[in-house]
């Protein structure tokens, strides 16, 4: 039994499929993965014995700088990625029994699976990516901002924009391989029975007519790496610090200064994760410490709160650790959705805009670090599942058998 997994994006897009790959291998399946050619992804997959099929340009190049590429450049990248997928996916899928794709960028995946006669599964990491009258579509960088508020109309406009971006390219390739055209690219990619790889307690799916969503729970692996000795020394030198990190996002360098200033004003220590933005400290005082890549599962249970950008993985890891969160959401993809979930669940605070003020941060920290917020976060942590990847792997293997 062979399975091809495919995604294109940052670590938050790749790591859930890594977890699924490991669980599939435990059930006897052979796995290969189409993903960006960034060195960290190649090393991660190589260390697990999973073959990487590189697709597209390195994601780090696209995420460099505090601003996204222009709308014209994003449109060109997206079209080129479809062409690249149709060039690479057929050989990658050769001999496979199923193709699991995650992310809207996987425009070619279903067509390649259809041509090969193999099972196709689409997976989303957040409910907000799937059409429903219960929520609006997520922001899509480079596309026009709609001026309406009705969710159904917004999803209709979203489908229109997806067709405008991808319809011609997709149907051109489908014609080349003998497949009929599709008139709704987005719903073609999603299918009528997508999987939702998100925790039901943290990001539940609300029943929507016409869409039979299978919610498996979030896909993650246990991280057994020990924390660095110097980090442990800092943690043990005082009260639990507040973690500040923005992963693959590139916020303004001023954000670390604002967070540290707000925390110091309330007597808290800070732990700054450099991330792709290479954030640093503002001075050499001993109440702050900077770190690189570390085990978040092992760390988050030892901090007072987690300040982050609203990524699905970070939100879930912090929730599972039972720690309050302050989300400074990047205004793209599912980041605002996860910020909203943190606020709705009262397990922290959410801030609008990419550069919060010291005043707004101070208010958010008072909310997040209040005893009642900590207790709600702790209680939610007891309800977060850890078996999502195993559940998804079992579903797929049983279906193929």
Pick the CATH number of 2-221+386-400 from 3.40.50.970, 3.40.50.2000, 1.10.260.40, 3.40.470.10: 3.40.50.2000
Q: Residue 401's pLDDT is what? A: 87
Q: Residue 17's pLDDT is what? A: 97
**Six token digits for residue 69:** 């590429």
Q: Residue 170's pLDDT is what? A: 97
Q: Residue 196's pLDDT is what? A: 98
**Residue of 151, 183, 127 whose CA lies nearest to 334:** 127
Count, residues in the chain: 401
HSE-CB at 107 with a 13 A cutoff on CA atoms is: 28
Q: Residue 264's pLDDT is what? A: 92
**Residue of 328, 317, 312 whose CA lies nearest to 244:** 328
CA distance 363 to 257: 16
> Could you tell me if 246 and 10 are in contact, meaning their C-beta atoms sit under 8 angstroms apart?
no
> Could you tell me if 289 and 221 are in contact, meaning their C-beta atoms sit under 8 angstroms apart?
no
**pLDDT beneath 50: ranges in the chain:** none
The full set of domain ranges for the chain reads 2-221+386-400, 229-381
**Residue of 185, 141, 165, 16 whose CA lies nearest to 81:** 165
C-alpha pair distances (Å), 130 with each of 18, 134, 151, 194, 197: 22, 10, 12, 9, 12
Q: Is 119 helix (H, G, I), strand (E, B) or coil?
A: strand
> Could you tell me if 216 and 197 are in contact, meaning their C-beta atoms sit under 8 angstroms apart?
yes
> Could you tell me if 34 and 143 are in contact, meaning their C-beta atoms sit under 8 angstroms apart?
no
- Which helix or strand (DSSP H or E) is residue 327 part of? strand 325-328
End-to-end CA distance of the chain: 9
**Residue of 103, 5, 96, 80 whose CA lies nearest to 48:** 5
CB atoms near residue 237 (< 10 Å): 12
Q: Residue 252's pLDDT is what? A: 67
The yes-or-no answer to whether 2-221+386-400 and 229-381 have a common fold is yes
Q: Which residues contact 293 (CB under 8 A, 6 or more apart)?
A: none
Q: What are phi and psi of 278, to 5 degrees?
A: 55, 50
Q: What is the DSSP letter of 201?
A: T
**Residue of 293, 299, 338, 343 whose CA lies nearest to 321:** 299
Q: Residue 274's pLDDT is what? A: 87
CB atoms near residue 113 (< 10 Å): 22
> Could you tell me if 338 and 315 are in contact, meaning their C-beta atoms sit under 8 angstroms apart?
yes
Fold of 229-381: Rossmann fold (3.40.50)
């Amino acid at each position: 039994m062979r399975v091809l997994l495919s995604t294109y994006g940052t670590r938050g897009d790749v790591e859930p499929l890594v977890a699924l790959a490991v669980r599939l291998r435990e059930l006897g399946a052979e796995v290969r993965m189409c993903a960006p050619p960034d060195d960290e992804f190649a090393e991660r997959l190589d260390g697990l014995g999973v073959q990487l099929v590189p697709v597209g340009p390195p994601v780090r190049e696209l995420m460099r700088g505090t601003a996204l590429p222009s709308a014209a450049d994003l449109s060109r990248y997206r079209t080129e990625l479809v062409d690249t997928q149709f060039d690479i996916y057929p050989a990658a899928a050769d001999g496979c029994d199923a193709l699991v794709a995650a992310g809207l960028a996987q425009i070619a995946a279903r067509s390649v699976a259809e041509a090969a006669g193999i099972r196709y599964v689409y997976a989303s990491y957040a409910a907000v990516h799937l059409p429903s009258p219960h929520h609006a579509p997520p922001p899509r960088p480079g596309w026009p901002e709609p001026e309406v508020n009705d969710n159904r109309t917004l999803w209709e406009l979203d489908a229109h924009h997806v067709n405008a971006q991808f319809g011609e390219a997709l149907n051109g390739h489908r014609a080349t391989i003998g497949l009929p055209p599709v008139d709704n690219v987005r719903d073609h990619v999603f299918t009528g029975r997508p999987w939702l790889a998100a925790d039901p307690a943290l990001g539940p799916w609300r029943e929507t007519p016409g869409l039979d969503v299978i919610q498996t729970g979030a896909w993650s692996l246990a991280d057994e790496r020990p924390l660095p000795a110097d980090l442990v020394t800092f943690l043990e030198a005082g009260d639990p610090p507040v973690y500040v990190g923005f992963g693959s996002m590139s916020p303004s360098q001023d954000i670390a200064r604002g967070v540290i200033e707000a925390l110091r004003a309330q007597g808290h220590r800070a732990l700054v994760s450099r991330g792709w933005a290479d954030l640093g400290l503002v001075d050499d005082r001993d109440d702050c410490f900077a770190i690189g890549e570390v085990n978040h599962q092992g760390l988050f249970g030892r901090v007072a709160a987690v300040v982050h950008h609203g990524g699905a993985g970070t939100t879930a890891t912090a929730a599972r650790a039972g720690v309050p969160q302050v989300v400074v959401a990047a205004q793209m993809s599912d980041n605002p959705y996860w910020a909203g979930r943190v606020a709705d669940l009262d397990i922290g605070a959410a801030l609008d805009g990419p550069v919060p003020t010291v005043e707004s941060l101070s208010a958010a920290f008072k909310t997040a670090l209040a005893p009642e917020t900590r207790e709600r976060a702790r209680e939610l942590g007891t309800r977060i599942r850890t078996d999502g990847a195993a559940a998804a792997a079992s579903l797929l293997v049983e279906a193929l058998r």
